[in-house]
Structure 1
Amino acid sequence: MMAVAGAEAPALNAYDVQVHECSIRAATPGDLDGARAVMLDTVYRDFGTGYVPRWHGDIIDLAGAYLASPRHTLLVALDGSDGEVAATAALDSRGPAHPPNPRPLARRYPSGETAQLRRVYVRPGHRRRGLARRLVGELLAFAAADGGYRSVYLHTDPGIPGAEAFWRSLGKAVWDEREEPGGSGVVHFEVPFA
C-alpha cells in the first residue's frame, strides 16, 4: 500500500494482509516447536492426510533428522513482526527409498550422494512473496558447500495448488508417477545446484 502525501493511509480491512519481512536462519532447538507446528498444519490442511508416521516421522524428531548431522539442515523463516516461524525448509542426505518410490529413482539418487529437499512449507499468510524460493536458494547453497552431494532431489504432490509449477520453475521433472498405471501421482524433480 502506498501513502499519498497529505492523505491519511487507508485503514486495513479484513481482506488486507499486513506484510512483514522474514529473516531466514538455520533452526535452533528453540525453533523446533514452531517449525513442527508449520509442518503439521501443512500436512493436515494442505495435504489432507494428517500425520502419517511412515511419511512424516521426521516432523516429530526434527532434531534427530536435521540438526544431528552436519550434512543435514533445517531452515526457518521468522516473521519480523512477532518472531514466529512462518516457513520451513529442510535438506538431508537420504535419497528416495524403494519402496515406495520407483526403483530407478532410488538407484539414480543414492543416499549419501543426494541432497533431498524436504518440508518446504510456508504458512498461508506468508505465501506468494518469494519466501519458498529464498529458502530453496539457501538449501542449494548449503548442498553446494557440503562438497559431497552430486545431485539435489525432491518429490511433490501435484495436487497441492502451486506446488508443481513452483518446482518446475526451479528444476526438471525426472519421473511423473501420474503417467504410470497405479502410480501414486507424485512428481519427482532434480534441481540444479546454482
Structure 2
Amino acid sequence: MRAYSIREATAADIDGARAVMLDAVYRDFGTGYVPRWHADIIDPVPFYVTPPRHALLVAVDEREGTVAATAALDARGPEHPPNPRRLAERFPSGETAQLRRVYVRPGHRRRGLARQLVDGLLEFARTDGGYRSVYLHTYPHSPGALGLWRALGKVVCDEREEVPGGGSGVVHFEIPLA
C-alpha cells in the first residue's frame, strides 16, 4: 500500500504540481492549455503560494517522491461573465474560498487523496477566519468529480439544467465551511 504526504507545496513541488494540472486539462478535459483559463497552472506561485490567504496543497507519493495530486484555494469568487450573475453575487471575492485545481493522477485515484486535500483546504479556510463560504465548479465529465463534490456539498447551479442552452455545462457547488 502506498503512503502519501499531504502538505503545502514547496518550491521543489511546483514543477510536479504543474505537470499534474496540465495533464488533467489535456487528458480529462480535452481542452489543453488555454491561457485565459490556465495562467495559474503555468505559474502557480503568484496565484496560490505567495498570497497569504491562498494555498496550494500537494499529495506526494512517499515511495517515488513525486506529486500525485493537487488542490488549491484562493479568495476569488466566480466572475460574471462567464458564470451566472447570481453566483458572482452569492460568492463575492474576498469572502469566498474558491477550491481550484483538485486533480489526481489516474494511477493514484480511489485512495482518498482528493478528499484529504480538500479537508486540508477547508481547515486552511477556517483558520483564515475571513471566509464566509466555500465555492467550486466542476465539469460533469471530470473523472470522479461529481461524486466527490456531491458527498461534500450541495449543487447551487447546474448550468446544464438552469442556464438557457446549457451554459458551459458547469456544475457549481457550495461546500460547508463549518
* TM-score, length of structure 2 as denominator length: 0.97
1:119: Cα distance to partner?
0.3
Equivalent AA in structure 2 for residue 42 of structure 1: A
Residue 34 of structure 2: aligned partner: 52
Question: Which of 154, 165, 177 is 2:147 aligned to?
Answer: 165
Larger relative contact order (C-alpha < 8 A, sep ≥ 6)?
2
Q: How does 1:1-194 map to 2 (within 5 A)?
A: 19-179=1-161, 180-182=163-165, 183-194=167-178
Q: Which amino acid aligns with 2:106?
A: P
Which protein has the bigger helix share?
2
Q: Deviations over 1:122-153 (max 9, x none)?
A: 00011001110000000000000000000000
Q: Specify the structure having the higher radius of gyration (Cα).
A: 1
TM normalised by structure 1 equals 0.89
Unpaired segments of 5 or more residues in structure 1? 1-18
CA distance in 2, matches of 1:174, 1:189: 5
RMSD: 0.8
What is the total number of aligned residue pairs between the two structures? 176
- Unaligned runs of at least 5 residues, structure 2: none
Percent pairwise identity: 74
Superposed displacement of residue 161, structure 1: 2.8
- Structure 2 CA distance for aligned equivalents of residues 144 and 161 of structure 1: 28
Extract structure 1 runs of 4+ deviating beyond 2 A. Answer: none
Q: Distance in 1 between matches of 2:177 and 2:86?
A: 22
Partners of 1:40 and 1:20 in 2: how far apart?
24
